[in-house]
Structure formats: structure tokens, C-alpha cells
Amino acid sequence: MTTILGRFGEIGLKGANRGEFERRLLRQVRQRLPEGAAASLRGGQVVVHVPEASAAQTADAMTRVFGLVSVIGAVPAAPNMPAIAGAAIDLARASGAHSFKIAARRVWKGFPLTSPEINAALGAAVADATGLAVDVHHPDLTLAVEVRSDVVYLHGQALPGPGGLPLGASGRAVALLSGGIDSPVATYLAGKRGLSVAAVYFHAFPFTGDRTKEKVVDLCRALGRYFGPMRLWVVPFTECQVAIRDLCPAPFATLLTRRMMLRVAEELSRRERAGALVTGDSLGQVASQTLEALAAVGEVAELPLLRPVVALDKDEIVAIARRIGTYDISIRPYEDCCSIFAPRHPRTRPTREQVREAEAPLPAADLLAAALSGSERLFVEP
Ligand code: ATP
Ligand code: MG
């Protein structure tokens, strides 16, 4: 069996919150464990025991558990110097490094040697046994030694986790997920702050083909590596788009489309018992993302409207999309309904009154009811 440690940081976690945080974190870790593995909480970290053959895969899966700051493949040793030195020598040999340093830390202050004394003693023992050079400034291998009362963990480099809060710790949200680059990143960031998310996609068939819908399903599959199985609402949106095109002034089309989307999403959030809506809006990116446009669209929602990428530049959003594995799906060349119905001269600085007036001819309540009754809920496995 191999030991994997999952570290969580989030300071300011106190009292009752801490228990819930840890319980949710542990549940998320357990969902990713193979047969024969076990996870528990010890000394403020998640400790996983996993069969050697599936250790690398398990550690990798743990890097996608929200709330974990780092993931470490560790070798446990008994808390005495001969046992620690033996483990350190094995690790140094196996690493292929030419130089090393020891970085000891005593979680348990009752250990007979201080951290500098442990560094010196282990450094000498490893150098003697392996012939590797001690280099405290630029070592190939930094061998961390974490001393606890019942066990000592030795390890090399940690893998970074996403950080944030465990799924569900902040409640539930409904995310408006298009096939674009921004909304999957917004969804990911909402999850990272502890929101469990159901996605909603507005499908304007045949203006947007089933390839676009497949793309959104694939995005959910990719996000599922972080979220687990995802619920995806597919809302038939053709009738709304056509009505807006035929009944309302063209410069307002995108804004009115967004308002209808938010209304539908808010109704679905009741069914999901969600307390917030999430969109991929980024300030100033396109005509419908000026402050005035965001205000005129957002006024139809009563739930808090979260826009996690609002302040990110496109290249920052793209960097996250690449890292989380949604970018290559998002750039598939199928159009979304918004680009097809987008007006040539969109209104960029609308007042709320102008938008309400533009919307007046629209049978919004009927369209909303029809869109909701045609909605289909899919379960997407990662
Ligand atoms: P994205 O890359 O997420 O599509 P975007 O920058 O292209 O975002 P818009 O197309 O203007 O922005 O859409 C703004 C937001 O509205 C999206 O981020 C998404 O949350 C939501 N949205 C737009 N179209 C749809 C759709 N067809 N289904 C679900 N949500 C949508
Ligand atoms: Mg888009």
C-alpha cells in the first residue's frame, strides 16, 4: 500500500464549519478511490492508503478535488531515527537525483531531535549511504520529513490541488453553460468556491445543431473530473429566439435573449434548490457585457448572479480553460445560438427603460412556460 496525503489550507475555518468542510472533502476524495483503498482524516490532513498499482492515478484524481491545496505521495516511517533514515535513503536512491536536501518539520514537538538536528543527521546518513551531494540551495530533490507522534511521512515534490472549498460547502448554483470558453471556466470557479453546480444549456435547434449540444455535454464530462456526475438541463430555445427576432427591435436582441435565459435558469434553480446563478460574463468583452447591459439583463433575476470571470482578461480565462481541460472542447467550430441571432448593431449602453420597452411585445410568460415544459434533464458521467 502507498500513502497519499491531501493537504487543505483554508484558514479562517473554525468550529462547526471545519467539521463540515472535512466531511465533504473526505466524501469527494472517497468517490475517487479505487477498490481496496481507504481515506481518513488525521492530524488536519486527508490520509489515503491505496494499492501501489493505482497510486499515481489516485494522486492525479485527487488533484481535482476542490478544497485540496496539495497532494503528496508519501512514505510512512516509524517515529525513530533509524527507521526515518532507512526510508530517506530508499527515497533518495529511487529519485535519480544527484543532490538533495532534507527539510524536516516537527508537527509533534515531543520528538527528541529538533528540526535542524534532524536535517543534519539525515543529511549525513543519506549522503554516506548513497554518495549523493547535500545542496541546501539548489537541490535536485528536497526530501520533506514530517514528524508526527505516531508516524513520520517522507516525501518529495507535492502536486498542486485546486484549493478553494469542498463541493457543496457553499451550497448549490445553476450555471448557464454555453459552448464557449468562458462559461465552463466560470462553472469551474464556482465549484472551486464550494458551489455544487447544475448546468443549463439553451438549445436553438436547428439554428444550432446537435453538434453544439454534444459539445456542451462534453464540457460537462470534462468538468465532471472536478464535479463528479453533472446534471445538465437542455432547454429548447428556438421559440424564444424566433419571437425575439420577429417581435422586438434588432439592436436589443441579445439583451432580450439573455433576459429570457435568466428567467428560465431561475425557474430551474428552484427545482435544483439552488441559491445562485452563474454566468461566464466578462466585463467589456462583448457588447452585451458593458455595465449597462449587465444591469439591464441582470435585473430579471432575483437570485444572486455570480460572474466568476468578470474581472479576468481573455488570456487568463484561456489559461484556466487549458488547465482544466475544457479549452479544446470549447474551440470546436460549432456556432452557438447567440452568434447566429446576434444583431449587426447591438445596443451597448441601454437603459433599463429602453430594454423593458423593447421587450414589451414579447409574450415572455408564455415563452418561459413553454421553454420550461420542454426542458430535459441529462446526467453526464465524467
Ligand atoms: P461563453 O464563452 O461562455 O459563451 P461569451 O463570452 O461568449 O461566453 P456570451 O456569448 O455573450 O459570452 O454569453 C454570456 C454568458 O451567457 C455565457 O458565458 C453563458 O453563461 C450565458 N450563455 C450564453 N449563451 C448560452 C447558451 N446557449 N446556453 C447557456 N448559457 C448561455
Ligand atoms: Mg458565447
- For the stretch 298-336, pLDDT in tens is 999 999 999 999 999 999 999 999 999 999 999 998 666
Domain assignment of residue 136, yes or no: yes
Q: Is 52 exposed, middle or buried (0-12, 13-18, 19+ CB in 10 A)?
A: exposed
**What would you report as the CA-atom Rg of the chain, rounded to the nearest whole angstrom?**
26
Is residue 183 located within the same domain as residue 89? Answer: no
User: What dihedral angle (degrees, nearest 10) is formed by the CA atoms of 222, 223, 224, 225?
Assistant: 70
The reported pTM is 0.93
**Residue to probe by mutation, ligand 1, list 183, 230, 348, most atoms within 8 Å of CB:** 183
DSSP, collapsed to helix, strand or coil, labels residue 107 as coil
Where in the sequence is the domain holding 182, given as residue range(s)? 171-380
pLDDT (average), residues 112-125: 96
Q: Which residue minimizes the CA distance to atom 8 of ligand 1?
A: 182
Asked whether residue 151 falls in the same domain as residue 210, the answer is no
Residue among 290, 203, 296, 224 nearest 258 (CA): 296
Say whether both 81 and 138 belong to one domain: yes
Q: Based on the structure, what is the number of domains in the chain?
A: 2
Q: Are residues 213 and 320 in the same domain?
A: yes
| Cα(145)–Cα(102) distance, integer angstroms | 7
Q: Are residues 132 and 176 in the same domain?
A: no
Ligand 1 pocket check for 338: Cβ under 6 Å: yes
Q: Which of 113, 136, 160 is a domain's end point?
A: 160
Question: Based on the domain organization, do 142 and 105 belong to the same domain?
Answer: yes
Considering the domain architecture, whether residues 156 and 175 belong to the same structural domain is answered as: no
Question: Where residue 150 sits, what CATH number does that domain have?
Answer: 3.30.2130.30
Question: Model confidence over 204-263: pLDDT tens digits?
Answer: 998 888 899 999 999 999 999 999 999 999 999 999 999 999 999 999 999 999 999 999
How does pLDDT run across 267-303, given as a tens digit for each residue? 999 999 999 999 999 998 777 789 999 999 999 999 9
Is 166 among the domain residues? Answer: no
**Residue of the CA atom closest to atom 31 of ligand 1:** 178
The answer to whether residue 165 sits within a structural domain is no
Average pLDDT over residues 105-121: 95
112/57 same-domain check:
yes
260 lies in the same domain as 359: yes
Is it the case that residue 16 has pLDDT exceeding 70? no
Q: What is the mean pLDDT of residues 331-347?
A: 78
Return the ligand 1 atom nearest residue 336 CA: 27
153/176 same-domain check: no
- Is residue 84 in a domain? yes
Tell me if 32 is assigned to some domain.
yes
Smallest CA separation from ligand 1 atom 21, residue: 176
Give the domain-ending residue among 160, 193, 214.
160
Last residue of a domain, one of 99, 131, 160: 160
The protein residue with its alpha carbon nearest to ligand 1, atom 24, reads: 178
Same domain as 182, residue 132: no
Decide whether any atom of ligand 1 lies within 6 Å of the 219 Cβ.
Answer: no
Q: Are residues 128 and 212 both part of a single domain? A: no
